Amino acid sequence: MRAVTVATTDEAIRAPWTLTRMPDQTGRLAVVTGANSGLGFLTARELARKGARVVMTARDEGRGQRALARIQAELPDAAVELRRLDLADLDAVAAFAGALNSEGRAVDLLINNAGVMMPPRGLTRQGHETQFGVNHLAHFALTLRLLPLLSRAIGARVVTVSSELHRRGRIHFDDFTGEKSYSRLAFYAQSKFANVLFALELDRRLKAANLPVISVLAHPGYSDTNLQTSATSGVLRLFMRIGNRFLAQNAEQGVLNQLYAATAKGLRGGEFIGPDGFREMRGSPSLVHPLPAATDGDLAARLWALSEGMTKTQFPAIPERAA
């Protein structure tokens, strides 16, 4: 097994890290997927509050417009815009990235936040299992397509939002679509496991190519958002509602992990940020460690190659920036 080293920082996170310690983001351009609700909305709002220009994405135009209006009402001077992006359609991902590339603005932050959680088995437009397609493949393709713009920024970051449930994941190489056997939880865990494999492999490749971009992971612990109940149904939805009420921390606390990953000084790439409490369910941002299997470089390379084929994308050839 070729292990990928999980990065750490020289300076430990001084708990509790709060929004008051978030660095100024003036002049930076951030792209946040799934910004119409939950952690994505809070991420977009707080980056805008700190001065970033934020491109919010949403699959549903109406919900996205309502989210945009909420931020504009609270922050009248915020530089925020909405663009529709359906992550269940790789053609839409290509079109979205193509439009940004044609505008030529350097992207400082890409927050791969959007996701679906434990829906009934379904397929994306290109025929991929929905959770794997949206949570992993779409963000894989979006990241590679935006790397030219990220590489033009100073100190650019890609933050991929995973889950503590990645620890229950494995890659179903013999049944990617779940046609043989489908479990909502197992395929959700697979997609979150894939997020970790991807983000660590991305950082390794960025460093090997000497590109001025780092890849960082985050997970929110058990946070009370609409993700747990928006796609689930029946007994599972009831269970999630009970868990949200009695076990979860609020979304404002959970979002600190991805905001830390996106903005805190001293990160070098490859770090995983999650809550410091019991079983990483709640608490303040801290350095956490992924499932050991998620640091398997050979497994990551295999998934990477398959993901390139599924998305018809490749790591772009970008010249090194002159010193």
80 in Cβ contact with 40 (< 8 Å): no
* 260 among known catalytic residues: no
Residue of 182, 188, 222, 260 marked catalytic: 188
Instruction: Say how far apart CA 219 and CA 217 lie, in whole Å.
Output: 7
DSSP 51-70: T-EEEEEESSHHHHHHHHHH
What tokens appear for 49 in the block? 């509050």
Residues present in the chain in total: 323
Q: How is residue 268 written in tokens?
A: 């070098």
Residue 236's alpha-carbon distances to 164, 177, 257, in angstroms, are 18, 22, 26
Helices (H), the chain: 38-49, 61-74, 90-103, 130-131, 138-150, 184-208, 227-230, 234-246, 251-254, 256-263, 297-311
**Calpha distance 260→57 (Å, rounded):** 21
CA-nearest of 301, 298, 256, 262 to 274 is: 256
Report the relative pairing of strands 285-287 and 272-275 from DSSP bridges. antiparallel
In the chain the first and final C-alpha atoms are separated, in Å, by 36
β-partners of residue 274 are 286
Helix (H, G, I), strand (E, B) or coil at 99: helix
Q: How far apart are CA 208 and CA 202, in angstroms?
A: 10
Amino acid at 210: N
**How far apart, in whole angstroms, are the C-alpha atoms of residue 312 and residue 25?**
33
Contact 14, 226 (CB under 8 A): no
Label residue 98 exposed, middle or buried (CB < 10 Å: 0-12, 13-18, 19+). exposed
Which residue numbers are catalytic? 188
